[in-house]
Copies of this chain bind each other. A is one copy, B any other.
Amino acid sequence: MTITITAFERSPDGGKGLARDTRVRWALEEVGQPYEVRLVSFRAMKEPAHLALHPFGQIPTYEEGDLALFETGAIVFHIAERHAGLLPVDANARARAITWMFAAVNTIEPPILELGTAKLLEGDKPWNKARLPLVEERIRNRLAQLSTRLGDADWLDGAFSAGDLMMVSVLLRLKSSGILDEYPNLAAYVARGESRPSYKRAFDAQLAVYTGKPPTG
């Protein structure tokens, strides 16, 4: 059955790979599943046809036969559960990998989203300059703990898993802030994720939407 995902017709990040379809593309590349992409405009995202697929009017969505899913973490999990390569076979190791998926979206990402909101939606507010350091400090608190846990390991728990895919994707949002570089082992962890051939293919594919050039190689 054909897998079809949705992505921005014009990504707000201009192809930096931060739109969430990159996470789904990456997962599909890791497990070697081909997929098709339907591009959606900002206007179409808020119209009934898309809202029927995604109640919050966002991308990505995932369609496969009768199944329609939204929410990136759930889509990545669905892919990881159905195809080998993203979750360990051992039951306990699998549960721990899923734990890192939730930790990425519910512990690490919220303060990072808050920083994005502060810059995008409150950048013109009189309090923004005084408030940003507080938001950044809340991110640092989490990164320090994550850095301690990772230590000098390559991945969060044994081999690369969907937990790492989600965590690297969340941390990538911090790249332009410079905060990530304060934690060299986390910066190296993110670079390790980015250097995976599957990530590169996913990145190139989302960039091609923006540049209009099909990915090469």
Q: Which residues of A contact B (CB under 8 A)?
A: 51, 55-57, 66-67, 69-75, 77-78, 92, 95-96, 98-103, 105-107, 109-110, 113-114, 117, 121-122, 125-127, 130-131, 134, 138, 142, 145-146, 148-149
What is the minimal beta-carbon distance from A79 to any residue of chain B, in angstroms?
10
Q: Which chain B residues lie closer than 8 Å to A109 at the CB level?
A: 106, 110
Check B110 against A70 for contact (C-beta < 8 Å): no
Q: Which chain B residues lie closer than 8 Å to A130 at the CB level?
A: 125, 127
Copies in the complex: 2
Check A71 against B106 for contact (C-beta < 8 Å): yes
Check B105 against A78 for contact (C-beta < 8 Å): no
Q: Is the interface of A mostly helix, strand, loop or mixed?
A: helix
Q: Which chain B residues lie closer than 8 Å to A67 at the CB level?
A: 92, 95
Pick from B74, B92, B110, B146: contact of A66, CB under 8 Å:
B92
Check B107 against A56 for contact (C-beta < 8 Å): yes
Given A56-B145, A103-B74, A107-B56: A117 and B114 within 8 A (CB)?
A: yes
